[in-house]
Homo-oligomer: A and B are copies of this chain.
Amino acid sequence: MNIVLLRENDWINANTVKLTDHRARHLITVLKVVANQTLRVGLINGDRGLGTVTQVSGEGVELEVALSDAPLHRHPTQLVLALPRPKMLRRVFRSVAEFGVAELHLIHSYRVEKSYWQTPHLNEDKVEMALTQGLERSGDTVLPRVIQHKRFKPFMEDVLPAISAETTLLIAHPGNSAPFEADTQRPTTLLIGPEGGFIDFEVNLAEAVGAQKVSLGARILSVDTAVCAALSRELS
């Protein structure tokens, strides 16, 4: 945990928060905090700063906080991802939050099993929990927006052109595509397919709305690794 994430209702007065839930337990039992210790803290979807432990008791932990730093920069890539199988989903949420992605669009595609849309991992609270774990890893405070699109064609024809208008639009496609290079001049919208890849019809439709094919390398990568590989290209 590289940051203690706070919510508005944690404040008990202007400068003091009181934590009584799993965060307090983690601070007490894992980090073994003591009075006067300082910790990195941040308001979810808000600023970052420092918290000084003022009290540790059976009831929880109190911190005096000063939020003086702006949120971290957003990652220049917005991701459009064919809904991965549920087992992968939590890891993907964690990664996009860890990398500071602003928007993750989950889309249907031919090789996505319809049943995947029913997974409890897509419930709002589960999504937020996984995203929060990612933020805690990288010390970020801003939750990525996760948007579900259960119909492929309307997404590609109506939504994608709108959300990608000011960006370089790319579709990850193995084979002889050009290697994916970070565009340092403008943000990227990157489409990543399901296990087994997008079908030709889908790739053609993406190309019809302006997407260029790019390769993430010669190896077949699992979806969570592909997400990490793509996002890490634009990190340095």
Check B139–A225 contact: CB distance below 8 A. Answer: no
B-facing mask of A158-197, CB < 8 A → 1, else 0?
A: 0000000000000000000001100000000000000000
Check B217–A232 contact: CB distance below 8 A. Answer: yes
Check B180–A219 contact: CB distance below 8 A. Answer: no
Check A228–B219 contact: CB distance below 8 A. Answer: no
Quick check: is A221 within 8 A (CB to CB) of the other chain?
Answer: yes
**Chain B min CB distance to A111 (Å):** 14
**Chain B min CB distance to A192 (Å):** 13
Quick check: is A216 within 8 A (CB to CB) of the other chain?
Answer: yes
User: Which of A72, A137, A179 has most B Cβ within 10 Å?
Assistant: A137
B-facing mask of A205-233, CB < 8 A → 1, else 0?
A: 00000000001111111100100111011
Contacts A98-B225, A228-B232, A232-B228; A220 near B138 (Cβ below 8 A): yes
Contacts A215-B236, A232-B229, A233-B232; A220 near B2 (Cβ below 8 A): yes
Which residues of A approach B to under 8 Å, CB–CB?
2, 72, 95, 98-100, 137-140, 179-180, 215-222, 225, 228-230, 232-233, 235-236
CB-defined contacts of A218 to chain B, threshold 8 Å: 235
Q: List 10 A-B contacts (CB under 8 A).
A: A95-B225, A99-B225, A137-B221, A138-B221, A138-B222, A216-B232, A216-B235, A216-B236, A217-B235, A232-B232
**How many angstroms between the C-alpha atoms of A230 and B219 in the bound complex?**
15
**How many angstroms between the C-alpha atoms of A37 and B137 in the bound complex?**
44
CB-defined contacts of A235 to chain B, threshold 8 Å: 216-219, 229
**Chain B min CB distance to A7 (Å):** 22
